[in-house]
Structure 1
Amino acid sequence: MSTARTRLPALAAAGALTLLLTACGGAAGGAPTSGGTLTVGLGGGATCVDPQQTFNFSSAAMARTVVDSLTDQDPRTGEIRPWLADSWEVNADATEYTFRLREGVTFSDGTPFDAAALAANLDYIKSLGAKSSRGAAYLVNYAGTTVVDPRTAVVSFSAPSAPFLVGTSTLVFGMLSPATTQLTPEQRCQGELVGTGPFVMDSYVQDQTATVLRRAGYAWPSSLSTHQGEAILERIEFVWQPVPNVRAGSLASGQTDVAMSLETQDVAQIEAAGGTVQRGTMPGLPGSFIVNSTRPQLADPAVRQALEIGIDRESVVRTVLGTSFDPATSIVTSNLREYSDMSSMLAPDPARATALLDTAGWIPGVDGIRARDGVRLEIGITYSDDFGAFYTSLMQLVQQQLQAIGIGVRLNSVTQAGLVDAQSTRDFDTLVTTITESDPDIVRSIIQTRSPDTALLESSGLQALFTRQQAESDEAARTATWAEIQRIVLENGIVVPLFEGTQLTGIGPSVTGVRQDFKSMVSFYDTARTE
């Protein structure tokens, strides 16, 4: 069994108060005070607020106030830290996890959080199947949970599952009461949630407003929190503001205190009004092109390699997104522990890209677009502006850069539903996608489910490496395996990364202690007003 991580003393977390309030809050206008109401502007609709079913930053902001997770993940180091679990042990092949649960934790309906409640939550998440895509990914080989005693649970898997420990820190494993696990998924989506968290759901009207109230007697925050006991705020009101500049304007004018999911152009307005903007890299798969190497043009490895080095990521990202986003330097984001810097393989080199295409027999036509054996070197890029209005501007710059080396590009902007359809049918040349998750195994999942060329995954050795990394509970060994995966994926042009996703959260000048977790989702437990 590997050595368990033990829970940090409360004083250790409290000792970081000054540092974290400065790093995670707004520009303080005075000493934090207990009580008060915080108003949060949310971006986009939250059609389901159940943390175990949905992934949406608006939903997450609300759900995190109501639920706690077994563990937490340090946003600076990626280390897994105690929360509802005091400690844990993992066996050598990552098929068995033994959790020792924190004593005295209760749900807001008064029932205890114990090993049986943990088992009920994991069983429920597993039963949700596709309705809990993130949970399903972490529980793919889940075999059940054994209740040893009220404070000890053993979670078993039928095959190695090294990513599971990281999964326990995520919102999808936010713990809900046994009574809540008896509700239908639809009931839970509409706000019928009872958790162990520092707030309780008071009201929820989909796509309009929601309110949570401070829970009396709360006493079990994450070891990363800056204070102990009940939440500082008395009340949080969430309002839907789907248009980014409306959220920014409301914050700048003082109508709201926090604005979620801002865009780059909103930063200056908020800072000019005395607020601050938190910038958090969303871990997982960067904004990337998934390449369909079964298409005639893209079956040629020279074309796929030319795509990788024919794009000047620095120029594209800085022109459209400024300094709020970073160019991608691998197929996993730079804040994951398994990340390897592959920037040398992605450095822009139009001359080399041109030489690769020349050697492969792709000859420029009269319009500059190349062809070979009667096949025109033209590819489609399928993407969705539903994930941000900036996507079209990014794709247009990529289109210009690739056309400069003789690759024609058709831009295919679709709805989010259209993108999902293209993914499921694998009907695309290249498809732009990004996904946020705390473990790189989600990148494995995306490649295996999105890439139409399963033969290439097998012949390149990736399938075997994907299986190996799922069994490696040793951090160094798993990082080494992922370094090899990143190299092979880029060598074969299976994924062409472009930019790292960023979550921009605006915070008013009278607010402190808004904390972004490892996935850049916000937590309001340590938040206070200073007026």
Structure 2
Amino acid sequence: MLNGGGAPVDGGTLKMSMSADPLCLDPHAISADTEQILGQLQFDNLTYLGKNGAPSPWLATSWTISPDGRTYRFTLKKGVTFADGTAFDAHAVVVNFEHMLAPKTRSPLAGPYIAPYDSSEVIDDHTLEVHLKTPYSPFLSVLAQGWLGMESPKAIQRDTPAELCAHPVGSGPFKLAKYTPNVGASYVRRDDYDWAPPALGQTGPAHLAGVDLSWIGQDPVRYNSLVSGQYQLSAYVPPQNGAALAANDQFVYENVNRIGWPFTLDFNTSRAPLNDVDVRTALVRGVDTKAIVQTSQFGQRPTADSYLDSVTAFYDPSAKLPGYAPAAAGALLDKAGWKTKNAAGFRTRNGKELALSLPVSNATTVSPVYDLLQAQLKKIGVNLKIDLQPQTQVTTLRYKGDYDLLSGVWHTNTPDVLYIKYASSQISDSKHLGQNLARLSDPALDKTLQEARETTDRTKLTALYSTAQKQLVAGVPGLPIYQNTVLWAFNKKLHNVVVNTSHGTPLLTYAWLSR
């Protein structure tokens, strides 16, 4: 707990800022990182990760697992209701699982996270057996994530996907009062709430009367509005302001390294020129990531040199990409046939320039990483074209696979992030927005990652995830740049903020404001 101590005060509305509106608040239908915070304002989960990282009870008070790892019997908490008055029970859980997997939901995250789900059997109102197609060791952990929060079955069955995006209904400590796209959202306390995860050590309703959220895409505006007192919490602090906030005795500043996949430049391996591993390796050797991270992240984030963040279970420090070596990069490009240069200094082959397109959303402040990459790649003769687009257009290009490069981070609370990012089943198509942006199709890697999903034996998991990381280093599906730390800060007028064990983000269930 951060900034604890003192007697809690009920009332007051927390003013919070975030960087970008996901344009949908249905946790099952989005993959936006906003849901790591908003999800557990409005929704509850079946499980909660304890301080040791192990799943602990929440709406599921206990569970048993069959010897073959394919059947989970959950005992569910009694007396829980959704904000619309609907009771939480075994039937509600079934409706939620089916909604996550329904084609019309087009779930980019919740659905894939429970893809092994097969069916459920309602034993009674508060006992549910869940049957999986195959053993799935991350199951209990992913159920703790914000995107897998429980929604009202009444709302799911009544509302269209667009209506659920605009006004989902949860069982959490706050309910959504108003949502204005690209402006903000307001949440108000549920006075009847009394089913927080036992790991929090508190019961009853929230202390805050509400939370008012504003989306502020421009980094300087978001920072200045925090330090001026307009907002008490900023969920995403610009790295250039991290040191100043850490030194400001009016604020608590958190820099949390998280489980998952680092900020990475994905290489589209399904089309030329990045279907050539020598070209991909040349890009890795030709970029000085340490210099980029120091310049763009102001010392607030560590450099990445592999496809897992270092705090992730089964991270193998020996599975590292080769370091910066521009001469080696040039030799690899020569080997791949990109030997000549045009008047602009870019490499050519058969009269065609070595140019790569990188679609980037123009919804928020554009990261300085892209300009730094562009300058460094130019030195080895590669023309990086940064293509600013509305987020909807970037998503369309993702579906089509019409890009050379994409970028981003991926946070989850298990090393199964490697399956989400690199299994061939996670390649996007017209019906499914998958997260395999490298469009990598590697049967040997698929086999390794599937075997890791199906065992809970830690010795086997250590070996399998080590093998997977080494297979990725050999295949070079992207350029990892920096580790996926999350930066956030709040005014010390806000007390009892908990660091969410799944996401490293602020959990506000029992936070309170001093007057």
TM range (shorter): 0.7 to 0.9
2:383 match: secondary structure: strand
Going from structure 1 to structure 2, the CA distance change for 1:379 and 1:206 (only over 3 Å counts) comes to: closer
For residue 487 of structure 1, report the CA deviation from its aligned partner.
Answer: 0.9
Per-residue Cα deviation, 1:304-348 (whole angstroms, up to 9, x for no partner): 223223322221111111122222232122232143225643432
Q: Which one is further off, 439-448 or 150-159?
A: 439-448
Q: Which residue of 2 aligns with 1:4?
A: none
Quote how far apart the aligned CAs of 1:367 are: 7.0
- Distance 1:366-1:520 versus aligned 2 partners, 3 A rule: same
Q: 1:292 to 1:188 in 2, by over 3 A?
A: closer
Match of 1:233 in 2: 208
More divergent stretch after superposition (484-493 vs 381-390): 381-390
CA contact (8 A) 1:283 1:336 kept: yes
1:510 Cα deviation from its structure 2 partner:
0.8
- State the AA in 1 paired with 2:108: S
The yes-or-no answer on 1:519 pairing with 2:494 is no
Residue type at the aligned position of 1:457: D
- Of 414, 428, 443, which residue of structure 1 is paired with 2:388? 414
Distance 1:360 1:178 in 2: 55
Q: CA separation in 1, counterparts of 2:84 and 2:271?
A: 56
Q: 1:169 to 1:464 in 2, by over 3 A?
A: same
Partner of 2:235: 260
Partner residue, 2:2: 21
Residues 192, 303 of structure 1: alpha-carbon distance in 2 compared, 3 angstrom cutoff: closer
Whole-angstrom CA distance in 1 between matches of 2:164 and 2:42: 13
Superposition map of 1:128-139 within 5 A: 129-139=104-114
Secondary structure of residue in 2 paired with 1:64? helix
Task: Name the residue aligned to 1:56.
Answer: 32
**Equivalent of residue 290 in structure 1, options 259, 266, 276:** 266
Counterparts of 1:174-185 in structure 2, within 5 Å, are: 174-184=149-159, 185=161
The answer as to 2:120 corresponding to 1:145 is yes
Aligned to 1:16: none
Query: Which of 392, 405, 417 is equivalent to 1:430?
Result: 405
Cα distance per residue 1:443-500 (max 9 Å; x no partner): 433333146776x613xx1122232223223344234312211111111212221222
SS of the counterpart of 1:414? Answer: strand
Structure 1 contact 336–439 (Cα < 8 Å) conserved: yes
Deviations 1:401-446 (A, max 9, x none): 3344x34232232323343333322233333233333334444333
Q: Is the 8 A contact 2:280 2:478 kept in 1?
A: no
Q: Which residue number in structure 2 is paired with residue 508 of structure 1?
A: 491
Aligned to 2:432: none
Q: Distance in 2 between matches of 1:503 and 1:232?
A: 25
Deviation, structure 1 residue 530: 3.0
- Residue 100 of structure 2 corresponds to 125
Query: What secondary structure is seen at the aligned counterpart in 1 of 2:29?
Result: coil
Question: Are 1:490 and 2:464 counterparts?
Answer: no
For residues 86 and 244 of structure 1, what CA distance do their matches in structure 2 show? 41
1:171 maps to what in 2? 146
Structure 2 residue matching 1:326: 3-state secondary structure: coil
**Residue of structure 2 equivalent to 1:339:** 315
- Offset at residue 511 of structure 1 (A): 0.9
SS of 1:464's equivalent?
A: helix
Query: Secondary structure of 2:128's match?
Result: strand
Say which SS state the counterpart of residue 333 (structure 1) adopts. coil
Partner residue of 1:12? none
SS of structure 2 residue aligned to 1:490 = helix
> What SS does the aligned partner of 1:179 have?
helix
Q: 1:109 to 1:400 in 2, by over 3 A?
A: closer
Matched, 1:466 2:449: yes
Deviates more, 1:319-328 or 1:282-291: 282-291
Residue-by-residue CA offset, 1:126-162 (whole Å, 9 max, x unaligned): 2255432212202324222111223321111223433
1:457 aligns with 2:433: no
Counterparts of 2:273 and 2:23 in 1: how far apart (Å)? 40
Change (3 A) 1:476 1:495: farther
Is contact 1:210–1:239 with CA below 8 Å preserved after alignment?
A: yes
- Quote the Cα distance in structure 2 between the aligned partners of 1:381 and 1:99: 48
Gap change, CA 1:342 and 1:497, over 3 Å in 2: farther
Distance 1:48 1:221, change over 3 A: same
**Counterpart check, 1:400 vs 2:375:** yes
- Pick one of 203, 214, 221 that aligns with 1:246: 221
Note the C-alpha offset of 1:282: 5.0
Distance 1:54 1:522, change over 3 A: farther
Residue 60 of structure 1 deviates from its aligned partner by 5.1
- How many residue pairs get aligned? The number is 500
Q: Give the Cα–Cα distance (whole angstroms) in 2 for the partners of residues 388 and 335 of structure 1.
A: 28
Q: Separation in 2 of the partners of 1:424 and 1:107?
A: 34
Does the 8 Å contact 1:297/1:375 carry over to 2? Answer: no
Q: Secondary structure at the match of 1:52?
A: helix
TM-score using structure 2 length: 0.86
Aligned counterparts, 1:1-400, within 5 A: 20-22=1-3, 32-58=8-34, 61-74=37-50, 77-127=52-102, 129-184=104-159, 185-193=161-169, 195-267=170-242, 270=245, 272=248, 274-281=250-257, 283-293=259-269, 295-342=271-318, 344-354=320-330, 356-357=332-333, 363=339, 365=341, 374=350, 378-386=354-362, 389-391=365-367, 393-400=368-375
Q: Determine the C-alpha separation between the residues in 1 that align with 2:221 and 2:394.
A: 27
Bigger drift between 469-478 and 268-277 goes to 268-277
Q: Give secondary structure in 1 for the equivalent of 2:206.
A: coil
Check conservation: 1:515, 1:523, Cα contact below 8 A: yes
Query: Are the equivalent residues in 1 in contact too, given 2:346–2:378 (CA < 8 A)?
Result: no
The percentage of counterpart residues that share the same residue type is 25
Q: CA deviation at 1:64?
A: 1.9
Amino acid at match of 1:180: A
In 2, the alpha carbon distance for the partners of 1:294 and 1:186 equals 33
Structure 2 residue matching 1:345: 3-state secondary structure:
coil
Contact kept? 2:20, 2:363, Cα under 8 Å: no
Q: Which residue of 1 aligns with 2:430?
A: none
1:15 corresponds in structure 2 to none
Ranges in structure 1 where 5+ consecutive residues have no aligned partner: 1-19
Question: Which 10-residue stretch deviates more, 330-339 or 353-362?
Answer: 353-362
- What is the match of residue 478 of structure 1? 461
Q: Tell me if structure 2 keeps the 8 A contact 1:52–1:171.
A: no
Give the aligned residue type for 1:522.
P
C-alpha displacement of 1:171: 1.6
**Distance in 2 between the 1:503 and 1:122 partners?**
29
- 1:5 corresponding residue in structure 2: none
Q: Aligned in 2, Cα 1:179/1:92: closer, same or farther, shift over 3 Å?
A: same
Q: Which structure 2 residue ranges, 5 or more long, are not aligned?
A: 428-435
Q: 1:51 touches 1:60 (CA, 8 Å); kept in 2?
A: no
Displacement of 1:507:
0.3
Classify 1:387/1:323 alpha carbon distance in 2 versus 1 (closer, same or farther; 3 Å).
Answer: farther
Letter matched to residue 455 of structure 2: E
Task: Report the Cα distance in structure 1 between the residues aligned to 2:480 and 2:370, rounded to whole angstroms.
Answer: 13
Deviates more, 1:351-360 or 1:363-372: 363-372
Query: Cα gap change, 1:349/1:343 in structure 2, threshold over 3 Å: closer, same or farther?
Result: farther
Q: What is the CA deviation profile of residues 489-523 of structure 1, one whole-angstrom value per residue up to 9, with x for unaligned ones?
A: 11121222122233322201211222342223432
Assess if the C-alpha contact under 8 Å between 1:305 and 1:491 holds in 2: no
